[in-house]
Amino acid sequence: MITGGVMSGLGKGITAASIGRLLMNKGYRVTAIKIDPYINIDAGLMSPFQHGEVFVLKDGGEVDLDLGNYERFLDIELTRDHNITTGKVYSIVIEKERRGEYLGKTVQIIPHITDEIKRRIRQVSRTGGCEICLVEVGGTVGDIESMPFLEALRQLKYEESGNIFLVHVTLAPSTIDGEQKTKPTQHSVKELRELGLQPDMIVVRCDEPLLPETKTKIAHFCDVPVDAVISGHNAKDIYEVPLQLEAEGLTRYLMKAMRLFPLEERRDWKEFVNKMESVNDKVTVAIVGKYTVGSQCAEPMEDAYLSIRESLKHAGIEVGVKIELLWIDAEELEHGLPDQILKYADGILVPGGFGARGTEGKTKAIQYARECKVPYLGICFGMQLAVIEFGRNVCGLEGANSEEFGPTPYPVIALLPEQEKIRQMGASMRLGNYPAHLKEGSLAKKIYHSNEIVERHRHRYEVNPPYIKLLEEKGLCFSGTNGELMEIAEITNHPFFFSSQFHPEMKSRPGRPSPPFLAFVEAMKKERDISI
Ligand code: GLN
């Protein structure tokens, strides 16, 4: 179990995922549950602006981005049951109450809500064949919303005595002269203990490694052995965190406490990190999005496009280049000159998105990429806009657009009857895994090395069948299809122009980059080398 104190945004999710990875490196099968104490049933309707991207799972679950970190660190595929929210727990309990399943009893937080929380945790950790299950509680200890969850964990720790290990993640801020302050950690552990939970280990986030005297002090005041106080100092990159925690003695302590023996010594993570550290070249990618503020701003809205950034990173490490990101505000492009704004980009990426704002700027960027032969990767909305741009500027369909933005003379992107079926099944979007068949001789086939692929989706609108013939005649190739649905649009007469209706970024892993991202980064490097 992983809880957090002092403040949010400490990197509790990364710490938890790293702990999982360390156990996996010793040969254990690890899975993870993220508890989000908010009332929302899932992250589907939450703004990426506030909460970071909505991560999509294979079963179509729309979840917190931490689940993406778990999938990347543990190289697993999770399902919606791995994200427990207050909304999910309460709605089940209320449904049961309405069905009379509580036999007239007063339905209360203890035991009914806590029982439902425990039931879900047990069910998920027992299925899927894992040996260790990480349970991360979002938010900070002391939040009103997380109380029922912490109470459930307290009961679980008692009921499953000896098989549960609680890691509390806190912060030791430094004063200007470098003194590490322990009071916030002390207070937060005190708060946890008031709820009946005693941490077995404390991971302390800090700028510089924890000093021995800071560790001793925390150990004394928080009643844990000094070996169980782990320095979680800043790392250069999130993928270095597991190795850093290992060097701190976390794995040794944890395994001893849980009576676990190493089953094997996997070295793939270390090899991946070594590869990452030896990268000495770079390419620049312009991400044209709506959530960015001001063009060429360093790293705005980092979390809104988290999986895309990670996928570019995985691909870059494989190719041996560091990825520099240029965040381009789509609205700024609407009024500016693309060749000025995009001139430093080795490649252009248009990510997923919803709504009309910024679309004209994105379309301009795509036109620039197509005409000036700059490598282009379009994801979901980035494919729909590529089709719109091609329809308008190559096929002469003036005013072509998506039905998403209202009536248009040429709805090249439209709501298909398929969507109605989805709605009848209770969902509002095509979500999760769907297959695509790849065309012989296409770029898609070349980069995936396969005839049939499965990728994750999250969208409503589709390429409109009546326009497919015209678009293809003029040179846009739909190289990936699923029956009537167009999954990939590419242009052959171009160094690299690839766009997909699905989200390949959800399946990219360290050491196993997503094929379109890998091919995109390779193309950028190649084109840049030619132009030098
Ligand atoms: N807005 C588009 C749709 O609903 C694209 C969605 C996306 O990019 N995820 O089809």
Instruction: Find residue 479's DSSP bridge partners.
Output: none
335 catalytic? Reply is no
Check pLDDT > 60 for residue 295.
Answer: no
What does each C-alpha distance from 322 to 276, 279, 283, 518 come to in angstroms?
A: 9, 6, 6, 13
Nearest to 24 by CA among 65, 94, 75: 75
131 — pLDDT class (breaks 50, 70, 90): very high
Residue 293 is predicted with a pLDDT of 53
480: CA distance to ligand 1 center in Å? 18
Average pLDDT over residues 352-365: 91
- Ligand 1, atom 1: closest residue by C-alpha: 354
Check pLDDT > 50 for residue 296.
Answer: no
Residue 357 is predicted with a pLDDT of 86
Per residue in 360-381, pLDDT (tens digit) is: 999 999 999 999 999 999 999 9
CA distance 406 to 404: 6
Per residue in 56-76, pLDDT (tens digit) is: 999 999 998 899 999 999 999
Residue 350 is predicted with a pLDDT of 96
264 catalytic? Reply is no
The structure's pTM equals: 0.93
The Cα diameter of the chain in Å comes to 77
Question: Using omega within 30 degrees of 0 as the cis cutoff, is the peptide bond preceding 111 cis?
Answer: yes
Of residues 237 and 292, more confidence is placed in 237
Residue 389 near residue 366, CB atoms below 8 Å: yes
Average pLDDT over residues 498-520: 97
Check pLDDT > 50 for residue 297.
Answer: no
The dihedral over CA atoms of 198, 202, 206, 212, expressed in degrees to the nearest 10, equals 110
Mean pLDDT of the chain: 92
- Residue 318, sorted as left (phi over 0), alpha (psi -120 to 50) or beta, turns out to be alpha
82 catalytic? Reply is no
Average pLDDT over residues 134-150: 93
Residue 301 is predicted with a pLDDT of 67
Q: Which of 380, 459, 477, 522 is catalytic?
A: 380
Residue 458: CB within 6 Å of ligand 1? yes
Check pLDDT > 70 for residue 353.
Answer: yes
* Residue in this structure with the two tokens 């993870």, named with its chain if needed: 32
Per residue in 169-186, pLDDT (tens digit) is: 999 999 988 899 999 999
> What domains sit in the chain, N to C, each tagged with a CATH number?
2-271 (3.40.50.300), 279-531 (3.40.50.880)
52 — pLDDT class (breaks 50, 70, 90): confident
Provide DSSP, 331-360: HHHHHS-HHHHTTT-SEEEE----SSTTHH
Q: Which of 318, 505, 522, 527 is catalytic?
A: 505
* Residue in this structure with the two tokens 């027992």, named with its chain if needed: 126
